[in-house]
Amino acid sequence: MKGIRSLYITDRFFTAGTALTLLFILFFIAGLPAWPLKVLFLLLLTVVFTDALLLFRTRKGMAGGRSVAEKLSNGDENKIIIYLQSYFPFKVSLRVFEEVPHQFQRRDVEFKLALKAGEQKQLTYTLRPVKRGEYSFGAVNVLVATPLGLLRRHFKFDQNKLVPVYPSYIQMRKYELLAISQNLQNTGIKKVRKIGHNQEFELIKEYVTGDDFRTVNWKATARKSKLMVNQYQDERSQQVYSLIDKSRVMQMPFEGMSLLDYAINACLVISNIAIKKSDKAGLVTFQEKINTLLPASRRNNQMAVIQENLYRQKTAFVESDYSALYAGLRKGLSQRSLLLLFTNFESVFALQRQLPYLISLANQHLLVVIFFENTELSKLINQQGADLRKVYHQAIAERFAFEKKLIVKELKKFGIYSILTPPQKLTINTINKYLELKARNLI
């Protein structure tokens, strides 16, 4: 019965059956003898039996599976590989159907190919998840046909594989490599360096009056026949906290992903960069109360702890309570720190409701408020107004866009730094601001 369930009839079989039926009708109408049709029917049965024998004579037939990372990276293109190997002693044609997780709502992951006897092949496609959580892959379905092509044998591989989707570790690794290789400025990130005396070497330069004799590089001095000294980058280990607002203002989607998940991805990257730059990274998430308060640290497993905390963040998208945030930070943070607040304000009125708490935080810490441009409004503003309705819509859009600029000015009035950024540039702009503040000795 198992072999019967894995057997499928192809279009070619239906074509042959339809042709035979039409011939039978024509012969019946014309009153011709039926024996030629019997011969054709027996011939068709013989070919079908031969096709089935070829498909099932090789017991194993096919081997295959799916290669996927232990966890997927949220908001990034993740490579998925399907590998196949034929054990048939002849060339076969394949149709491969991949059962991707239901969150992607895709039914188009299909491949058609041919394999020679004993041949192996790999098929590659990508998936871009936009939500954290567990994703369940179904089976890799392979339908195999012989050169006769009347029947197909069904194989299933890698059924019910569960894969978690974590905050964007791909972005984290990308910017980590750039930070290590000192190439952050090549991606549009501005970096200002200061001379200091930590263990991160920067360059060798000629000695000038006032340089520390302890930094003399004697090998370089011997080669150049003049005094050369090592120059190092500044060492200032400070606490950097990412504050993530999980309220309803972060529910707005952009390219399928919520502003909250953009903030979570940026938090993972900036925390890793801070640790690589000798600072301590911590995490705070809040809505009606503080949900997570992870103390800043540079210990070896800090990034793993931050990543796990970010992965497990859940929210009901309720109204945020900045008074609870201020009270919790006043109690939990004893040292002046850099606070990167990921939130979203749509109007000056919304800001003014929370402004007293932001001012209080800025008096005790270095606060940077990070909020989002509405890129859809920018597109609407730049369109040509063809009629009165569109002109009216553009005027409203310009008003909302202007509100965002007023928020920046209002924050600046009280000495609070801010970043107004499109969602897709959130990570880069946050790193820019962090490096700028660090270079100016503000943290």
Task: Give tens-digit pLDDT for 345-362.
Answer: 989 999 999 999 999 999
* 363 and 265 housed in the same domain: yes
For the record, the structure tokens of 369 come out as: 């408020």
Instruction: CATH number of the domain at 434, please.
Output: 3.40.50.410
Closest CA to 62 of 38, 106, 104, 93: 93
Residue 154 lies in a domain: yes
Across all residues in the chain, what is the average pLDDT? 86
d(CA 440, CA 443): 8
Q: Please indicate, yes or no, if residue 287 is contained in any of the structural domains.
A: yes
- Pick the residue with more confidence: 379 or 74? 74
Residue 323 counted as domain residue: yes
Q: Do residues 311 and 409 both lie within one domain?
A: yes
211 with 279, same domain: the answer is no
75: left (phi over 0), alpha (psi -120 to 50) or beta: left
Is pLDDT larger for residue 110 or for residue 47? 110
18: which 2 tokens? 């339809």
Asked if 407 and 348 touch (Cβ cutoff 8 Å), the reply is yes
- C-beta separation of 176 from 83 below 8 A: no
Q: What is the token pair recorded at 214? A: 């302890």
One domain for residues 254 and 275: yes
Calculate mean pLDDT across residues 266-278: 93
Which CATH number goes with the domain that contains 156? 2.60.40.10
Q: Are residues 367 and 298 in the same domain?
A: yes
Q: What are 216-254's pLDDT values in tens digits?
A: 888 888 888 888 888 765 555 789 999 999 999 999 999
Q: Are residues 87 and 218 in the same domain?
A: no
Q: Is 50 exposed, middle or buried (0-12, 13-18, 19+ CB in 10 A)?
A: middle
- The answer as to whether 173 is a domain residue is no
**Cβ(148)–Cβ(47) below 8 Å:** yes
Place of tokens 């009056």: 209
Which residues, including other chains, have CB under 8 Å from residue 258's CB and lie 6 or more apart? 130, 131, 250, 251, 252
- The model's confidence at residue 34, banded by pLDDT at 50, 70 and 90, is low
Residue 51 CA to residue 46 CA, distance in Å, equals 9
Give CA–CA dist 35/32, Å, rounded.
9
Q: Are residues 218 and 133 in the same domain?
A: no
Domain-located, residue 432: yes
Last-in-domain residue among 151, 166, 181? 166
By three-state DSSP, how is residue 136 classified?
A: strand
Same domain, 113 and 244: no
Last residue within a domain, chosen from 233, 253, 285: 233
Is there a domain that residue 265 lies in? Answer: yes
Containing structural domain, residue 216: 196-233
pLDDT of the residue at 197: 45
Residues 246 and 210 both lie in one domain:
no
Q: How confident is the model at residue 196 (pLDDT cuts 50, 70, 90)?
A: very low
Q: Given a cut of 50, is residue 2 above it in pLDDT?
A: no
- Which residue from 344, 376, 342, 332 is spatially nearest to 268, judged by alpha carbons? 342
Per-residue pLDDT of 89-100, as tens digits, reads 999 999 999 999
The reply to whether 263 falls in a domain is yes
Q: What is the pLDDT of residue 367?
A: 97
Mark whether 228 and 289 lie in a shared domain. Answer: no
pTM: 0.80
**Tens digit of each residue's pLDDT (9 = 90 or more) over 135-147:** 999 999 999 999 9
Q: For a pLDDT cut of 70, what percent of the chain falls above it?
A: 87
Tell me how crowded residue 20 is: count the other CB atoms within 10 A of its CB.
14
For 44, counting Cβ atoms within 10 Å of its Cβ (0-12 exposed, 13-18 middle, 19+ buried), the class is middle
Alpha helices, DSSP H only, in 344-387? 348-364, 375-382
pLDDT for 395 equals 77
Cβ(163)–Cβ(137) under 8 Å?
yes
Q: From CA 427, how far away is CA 421, in angstroms rounded?
A: 9
Same domain, 202 and 288: no
**Tokens at 196, concatenated:** 């200091």
Q: What is the pLDDT of residue 8?
A: 73
Q: How many domains does the chain have?
A: 3
Residues 213 and 259 placed together within one structural domain of the fold: no
Q: Decide: 428 and 186 in contact? Cβ < 8 Å.
A: no
| 180 falls within a domain | no
Nearest to 246 by CA among 229, 259, 234: 259
Q: In this structure, are residues 261 and 221 in contact, taking their beta carbons and an 8 Å threshold? A: no
